[in-house]
């Protein structure tokens, strides 16, 4: 850890590179020593039992490094089964064992109650650590509450068992009873006084968090609206004298907003329905005639379907340019065996027999293109009746 | 509400797109009274806009801007039809349906929304609305839709038809109740034409059936949509969150 000597880091528990609680590593960083030195020193102290006590105390009272937390987490988990960590645990165990011996042997139940109490304390303190509590709350949304309560319950139980057991085996319970009653009464009284305040604090905190999330959402929304909607509205005001342009702008904005609000997961490049919608959107933008697209079903793109979309596009362009209609309906249907696209307008229509020269596009880019790719096209039209182009393309691959 | 003399009613065409039949009157049943309508929408501007556009075609007897006042006004005025916005403060259009329909099953609802989201569309139709149109609809088309719904028929826009086709075909699972969970070939055919932008009358001509039969098919689809318990239906709507 390359830390300039002038700038002594605050004493924090280190997450990255920790073996147990990150106490030794943090201490080493604080003191500018090699962690191994600190660990050895702690181990040495542990032989007398003091080391363990110091370690546990530091573990409780020294906070983890908040900045390091995020990126260090995964890493330290991965190192969880590291050999050196095992060694550290063994060291801690040995230290505890020494403590046991000092107090009079493994079979002294008294010690076990001390251990129980300590264990419960660890659990409760962990629980009380705000950063970790937040982590539980946020990472596991559903089970977090129950898990937290369970942990707290287990911790309290252990502490209570430890304390009462300790008293029982010291044969102090009788003497302590009066004191206990007193203590409990006082505690209960304090709890009554403090509880509403604590609950208020918790609520406030939750509220704050919700508010924060809401604000973030609002900011994003505001940014989006500013970038798109406000911009379009400005343009519309400037082009107010050109109704067609105004309508076009409004439609474009509407579509953009819709796709933003009701985002569809599908990708326009890989499946048919969104691709058809995109083609329609492009034609609409180019020619200013609203095109209403309804799609049923979806399937992956194929070469033949790409050709079909081109033909559909041609049909839409024709309808936009020549039909003199207010809007165009496009219906796409993906079947088990085939894909159908209908492009319909209620415009002027025309007589198939005397298609003007400049509209040979119908033959070439619609009929011809469909047939070349194994599909078919039908055009139903007559003057005054509008036009419907029906495209049919068999699917080659079953999805 | 379904008057026996319905045969004489000019077909006002499908909603959402009526251009080709523009010259056709949006007339009402010859003997039928002008429908009494309550407009429920939280945008006052929109309410007055609709009121103006509808003109004399319908008799607007009340307005409301949220769920509670809607329930109150509808209960008081007992209109033939309620023009119901999907998004309303206080629980949305669905909530109005939930609170009004059990007490006044004779009142018809036509849903109106800017949203094309499948969830909204399917939700409000399953809640009891007999039709769904988007707010971009012209006044004339809206009047036509109102008459149609007030007469007891269903109004399907091309998009709603597309949704229904999608929802009912999007499964390989065997239907729980074949009567309700499956569309007949004919119903499917009718819906496909509506999705293609055909008016009821055009669908009838195309399929060599009467307009009456088209209406029957659409109403039957509506019933299936409302009564089918298939969870594919709701699952489909959620999965497709949007359009």
Instruction: Using the structure block, give the residue that is written with the tokens 């003057």.
Output: A383
Average pLDDT over residues B193-200: 89
Give yes or no: residues B36 and B98 share one domain: yes
CA distance A180 to chain B (A): 54
Vertex B77 angle, CA B76 and B82, to 5°: 115
Higher local confidence (pLDDT), A16 or A215: A215
Residue B59 dihedral angles phi and psi, to the nearest 5°: -105, 100
Determine the 3-state secondary structure of A318 from DSSP: helix
The answer to whether the CB of A20 falls within 8 A of the CB of A79 is: no
In this structure, what CATH number is given to the domain that contains residue B25?
3.40.50.2300
Contact A261 B197 (CB under 8 A): no
Give yes or no: residues B189 and B146 share one domain: no
Nearest by CB to A329, from B117, B196, B243: name it.
B196
Give yes or no: residues B16 and B103 share one domain: yes
* HEC assignment per residue over B132-161: EEECCCCHHHHHHHHHHHHCCCCECCHHHH
Q: How far apart are CA B162 and CA B168, in angstroms?
A: 10
Contact A346 B117 (CB under 8 A): no
Tell me the angle at which helices B231-239 and B158-169 cross, rounded to the nearest 10 degrees: 120
Confidence of residue A193 (pLDDT cuts 50, 70, 90): confident
Residue B170 dihedral angles phi and psi, to the nearest 5°: -75, 45
Contact A296 B19 (CB under 8 A): no
Give yes or no: residues B150 and B217 share one domain: no
Best residue in A251, A264, A294, A324 for a mutation probing chain B (most B CBs within 10 Å): A294
Lowest mean pLDDT of A66-70, A218-222, B97-101, B208-212, name the range. Answer: A66-70
Contact A264 B158 (CB under 8 A): no
Contacts of A386 in chain B (CB under 8 A): 20
Give yes or no: residues B171 and B134 share one domain: no
Q: Among residues of chain B, what percentage have pLDDT more than 90?
A: 20
Instruction: Kindly tell me the burial class for residue A330, based on how many C-beta atoms sit within 10 Å of its own C-beta (0-12, 13-18, 19 or more).
Output: buried
Give yes or no: residues B111 and B204 share one domain: no
Lowest mean pLDDT of A2-11, A113-122, A164-173, A364-373, name the range. Answer: A2-11
Q: Note the pLDDT of residue A130.
A: 52
**Interface A-B: count of C-beta contacts within 8 A:** 64
Tell me the sheet residues that pair with A328.
A291, A345
Q: How far apart are CA A240 and CA A247, in angstroms?
A: 10
Nearest to A293 by CA among B62, B223, B116, B53: B116
Q: Note the pLDDT of residue A387.
A: 87
The strand pair at B132-134 and B108-113 is best described as parallel
Q: How far apart are CA B187 and CA B192, in angstroms?
A: 9
Whether residue A10 has pLDDT greater than 60? yes
Average pLDDT over residues B100-116: 87
Higher local confidence (pLDDT), A155 or A361: A155
Q: Which of B157, B192, B217 delimits the end of a domain?
A: B157
User: Is B23 inside a domain boundary?
Assistant: yes
Whether residue B203 has pLDDT greater than 80? yes
User: Is B106 inside a domain boundary?
Assistant: yes
The residues in B 191-220 lying below 8 A from A, measured between CB atoms, are: 192, 195-198
Domain extent, residue B50, equals: 12-157
Radius of gyration of chain B (CA): 17
Q: At a CB cut-off of 8 Å and minimum separation 6, what does B208 contact?
A: none
Largest CA distance in chain B: 49
Contacts of B166 in chain A (CB under 8 A): 296-297
Task: Domain count for chain B, please give it.
Answer: 2
CA distance A342 to chain B (A): 7
Vertex A145 angle, CA A139 and A151, to 5°: 100
Give yes or no: residues B129 and B202 share one domain: no
For B104, the enclosing helix (H) or strand (E) is: none
Give yes or no: residues B87 and B138 share one domain: yes
Q: How far apart are CA B80 and CA B71, in angstroms?
A: 14
The strand pair at A376-381 and B108-113 is best described as unpaired
User: Is B3 inside a domain boundary?
Assistant: no
Give yes or no: residues B192 and B138 share one domain: no
User: Is B20 inside a domain boundary?
Assistant: yes
Contact A331 B162 (CB under 8 A): yes
Q: Which of B123, B157, B191 delimits the end of a domain?
A: B157
**Range B172-181, long-range pairs (CB < 8 A, 24+ positions):** B173/B232, B175/B230, B176/B229, B176/B230, B177/B228, B177/B229, B180/B224, B180/B227, B180/B228, B180/B229, B180/B230, B181/B224, B181/B228, B181/B229, B181/B230
Contacts of B16 in chain A (CB under 8 A): 292
User: Is B5 inside a domain boundary?
Assistant: no
Nearest to A160 by CA among A203, A130, A120: A120
The answer to whether the CB of A361 falls within 8 A of the CB of A311 is: no
Contacts of B188 in chain A (CB under 8 A): none
User: Is B201 inside a domain boundary?
Assistant: yes
Nearest by CB to A294, from B117, B170, B195: name it.
B195
Q: Note the pLDDT of residue A72.
A: 43
Residue A175 dihedral angles phi and psi, to the nearest 5°: -65, -40
In this structure, what CATH number is given to the domain that contains residue B190?
1.10.10.10
Q: Which of B133, B157, B181 delimits the end of a domain?
A: B157
Contact B19 A325 (CB under 8 A): yes
Nearest to A309 by CA among A286, A324, A325, A293: A293
The residues in A 229-288 lying below 8 A from B, measured between CB atoms, are: 258, 261-264
Tokens describing residue A63: 């906070």
Q: Note the pLDDT of residue B39.
A: 92
The answer to whether the CB of B109 falls within 8 A of the CB of B152 is: no
Nearest to A285 by CA among A306, A264, A256: A256
The answer to whether the CB of A336 falls within 8 A of the CB of B190 is: no
Whether residue A102 has pLDDT greater than 50? yes
The answer to whether the CB of A119 falls within 8 A of the CB of A153 is: no
Query: Domain spanning A267-394: which CATH class is it, in words?
Result: alpha beta
User: Is B62 inside a domain boundary?
Assistant: yes
Nearest to B212 by CA among B66, B56, B6: B6
User: Is B198 inside a domain boundary?
Assistant: yes
Tokens describing residue A320: 């936009």
Q: How far is CA A42 from CA A20, A32, A54, A95, in A?
A: 12, 16, 8, 10
Query: What residue of A is the nearest CA neighbor of B199?
Result: A346
Contact B162 A263 (CB under 8 A): no
Specify the DSSP class assigned to residue A357. Answer: G
Tell me the sheet residues that pair with B111.
B84, B132
> Where along chain A do its domains lie?
23-179, 180-263, 267-394
Specify the DSSP class assigned to residue B131. Answer: B
Contacts of A296 in chain B (CB under 8 A): 162, 165-166, 169, 195
Confidence of residue A141 (pLDDT cuts 50, 70, 90): very low
CA distance B73 to chain A (A): 32
Higher local confidence (pLDDT), B95 or B174: B95
Q: How far apart are CA A83 and CA B188, in angstroms?
A: 68
Give yes or no: residues B16 and B134 share one domain: yes
Contact B195 A296 (CB under 8 A): yes
Give yes or no: residues B21 and B141 share one domain: yes
Higher local confidence (pLDDT), A60 or A68: A60
Contact B243 A386 (CB under 8 A): no
Q: How far apart are CA A17 and CA A31, in angstroms?
A: 16
Lowest mean pLDDT of A59-73, A166-180, A377-391, B172-186, name the range. Answer: A59-73
Nearest to A164 by CA among A221, A102, A243, A110: A110
Higher local confidence (pLDDT), B241 or A294: A294
**pLDDT, mean over chain B:** 78
Tokens describing residue A387: 């036009």
Q: Note the pLDDT of residue A398.
A: 52
The answer to whether the CB of B40 falls within 8 A of the CB of B63 is: yes
Contact A294 B170 (CB under 8 A): no
């Amino acid at each position: 850890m390359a830390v300039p000597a002038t700038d002594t880091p605050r004493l924090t528990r280190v997450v990255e590179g920790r073996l147990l609680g990150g106490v030794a590593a943090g201490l080493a960083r604080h003191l500018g020593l090699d962690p191994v030195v600190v660990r050895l020193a702690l181990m040495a102290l542990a032989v007398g039992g003091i080391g363990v006590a110091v370690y546990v105390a530091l573990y409780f009272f020294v906070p983890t490094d908040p900045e390091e937390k995020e990126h260090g987490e995964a890493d330290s988990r991965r190192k969880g089964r590291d050999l050196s960590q095992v060694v550290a645990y063994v060291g801690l165990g040995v230290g505890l064992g020494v403590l046991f011996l000092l107090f009079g042997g493994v079979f002294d139940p008294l010690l076990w109650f001390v251990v129980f109490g300590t264990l419960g304390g660890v659990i409760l303190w962990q629980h009380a650590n705000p950063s970790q509590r937040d982590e539980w709350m946020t990472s596991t949304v559903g089970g977090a509450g129950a898990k937290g309560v369970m942990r707290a319950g287990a911790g309290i139980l252990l502490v209570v068992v430890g304390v009462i057991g300790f008293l029982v085996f010291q044969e102090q319970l009788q003497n302590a009873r009066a004191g206990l009653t007193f203590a409990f009464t006082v505690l209960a009284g304090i709890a009554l006084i403090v509880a509403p305040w604590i609950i208020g604090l918790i609520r406030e905190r939750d509220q704050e968090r919700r508010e924060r999330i809401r604000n973030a959402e609002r900011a994003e929304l505001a940014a989006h609206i500013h970038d798109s909607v406000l911009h379009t509205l400005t343009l519309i005001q400037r082009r107010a004298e050109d109704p067609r342009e105004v309508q076009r702008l409004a439609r474009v904005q509407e579509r953009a907003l819709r796709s933003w609000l009701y985002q569809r997961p599908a990708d326009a490049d890989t499946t048919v329905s969104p691709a058809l919608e995109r083609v329609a959107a492009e034609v609409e933008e180019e020619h200013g005639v609203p095109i209403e697209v309804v799609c049923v079903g979806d399937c992956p793109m194929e070469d033949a379907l790409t050709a079909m979309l081109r033909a559909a596009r041609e049909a839409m362009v024709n309808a936009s340019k020549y039909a003199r209609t207010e809007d165009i309906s496009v219906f796409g249907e993906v079947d088990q065996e085939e894909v159908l696209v209908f492009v319909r307008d209620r415009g002027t229509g025309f007589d198939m027999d005397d298609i003007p020269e400049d509209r040979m596009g119908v033959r070439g880019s619609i009929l011809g293109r469909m047939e070349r790719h194994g599909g078919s096209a039908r055009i139903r039209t007559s003057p005054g009746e509008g036009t419907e182009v029906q495209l049919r393309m068999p699917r080659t691959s079953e999805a | 509400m379904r008057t026996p003399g319905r045969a004489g009613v000019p077909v006002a065409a499908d909603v959402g797109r009526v251009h080709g039949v523009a010259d056709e009157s949006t007339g009402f049943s010859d003997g039928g009274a002008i429908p009494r309508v309550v407009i429920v929408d939280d945008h006052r501007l929109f309410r007055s806009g609709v009121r103006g556009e509808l003109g004399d075609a319908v008799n607007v007897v009340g307005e409301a801007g949220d769920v509670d006042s809607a329930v109150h006004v509808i209960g008081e005025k007992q209109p033939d039809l309620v023009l119901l916005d999907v998004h309303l403060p206080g629980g949305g259009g669905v909530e109005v349906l939930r609170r009004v329909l059990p007490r006044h099953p004779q009142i018809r609802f036509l849903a109106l929304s800017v949203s094309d989201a499948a969830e909204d569309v399917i939700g409000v139709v399953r809640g009891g609305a007999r039709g769904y149109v988007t707010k971009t609809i012209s006044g004339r088309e809206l009047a036509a839709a109102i008459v149609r719904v007030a007469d007891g028929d269903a109004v399907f826009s091309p998009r709603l038809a597309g949704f229904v086709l999608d929802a009912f075909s999007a499964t390989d699972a065997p239907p729980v109740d074949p009567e309700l969970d499956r569309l007949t070939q004919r119903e499917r055919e009718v819906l496909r034409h509506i999705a293609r932008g055909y008016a009821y009358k055009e669908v009838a001509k195309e399929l060599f059936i009467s307009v009456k039969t088209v209406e029957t098919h659409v109403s039957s689809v509506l019933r299936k949509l409302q009564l089918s318990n298939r969870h594919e239906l709701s699952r489909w709507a959620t999965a497709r969150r949007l359009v």
